[in-house]
Amino acid sequence: MASNKKIIEEVSGWLRVFDDGTVDRTWTGPPEAEFLMKQVPPHEEFIEGVATRDVTINPNTGLAVRIYIPEKNTDGQNNKNKLPLVLHFHGGGFSISQANWYMYYHFYARLVRTTCAVCVSVYLPLAPEHKLPAACDEAYAAFLWLSAVAHGESSESWLETYADFRRVFLIGDSTGGNLVHHVAARAGSTDIQPMQLLGGIALHPGFQRAEPSKSFLEMPEIPLLTRDMINKFMSLALPIGSTKDHPITCPMGPLALPLTTLKLPPMLVVVAENDLLRDSELEYCEAMKEAKKDVEVLINHGMGHSFYFDKLAIDMDPKTATQVDKLFEEITNFINKH
């Protein structure tokens, strides 16, 4: 029977919103890129040095995480051998992506191997079905679950065996970087002992303003990020009546809590030189410095937004591969020194 549903909004390649409120996120972009969006099943046996499992942490809301552990140094019998714990928030304009997509699996499996850390990646709720602040709230709920495991109020055997709850870091890519800031800010006003949040890593965070920046207007678009994609994702994700000056998208803006009032851990902000969002990301970094916050900035020279997920480019272009290697080196250094 033919469907009478009409598309009322479309983000080319990524999603279609219908007049009955349903959303189709089937990939319709270039077929050669489809593998990046394929779901990777969890595997508790070690494959290429990493094992993964999916855990539902709140049956009522369906909040779930994917846990990665590295094969080496997985003798967690005493605290000396326990590993840093990295909590990951995926990007996707708050509207697409799943923690089990191949693009994330490929990157975060390598992160776990390279840094010898445990990674917990959150399956975030997506807009427009779940508008902001839903993703923020569930990201923070996942953080509080880690605190509950550290307290012994919840249980998760891999985390109890391998993770050092005194060395917790947040990491997020694209709009996941926005969540790093907001979860860190909320954590700063919460007693999370014995857990300790030692740092946040924002990879090409989705910071924006209602007034477009010079880089947003002038930088060449790439398939992973166009001006139309950004504008449509934000219109789907932001609360009705809000602009990009909303505190979640513009934490350095006048609608957000002043950065000086926030208790934040040291932050590493990674900025791509050719990113449409470059100028607003750098504005955030400058605002953090003015607020006397501990912030390091890494520039990916010659690179575009989220280039580290583009496995086709990494495999074919030595310059891209070199920049990805440097990125992992800097993330590892940041974790090791905090």
Strands 163-173 and 118-123: unpaired
Strand-pairing partners, residue 169, are 86, 199
- To the query of whether residue 275 is one of the catalytic residues in this protein, the response is yes
- Dihedrals phi, psi of 282, to nearest 5 degrees: -70, -35
Q: Provide the sign of the torsion angle of the four alpha carbons 238, 241, 244, 250, taken in this order.
A: negative
Look at the chain and count its residues.
338
Pair 113, 49: CB distance under 8 Å = yes
Going by C-alpha positions, the residue among 115, 106, 169 that lies closest to residue 306 is 106
- To the query of whether residue 174 is one of the catalytic residues in this protein, the response is yes
CA distance 338 to 336: 6
Burial class (CB in 10 A: 0-12, 13-18, 19+), 189: exposed
Tokens (6 digits) for 66: 């994917």
Candidates 275, 279, 306, 310; catalytic one? 275
| Angle in degrees, 0-180, between the axes of helices 318-337 and 102-115, rounded to the nearest 10 | 50
Candidates 95, 174, 242, 280; catalytic one? 174
CA distance 43 to 249: 35
Cβ neighbour number for residue 113 with a 10 Å cutoff: 17
Catalytically annotated residues: 174, 275
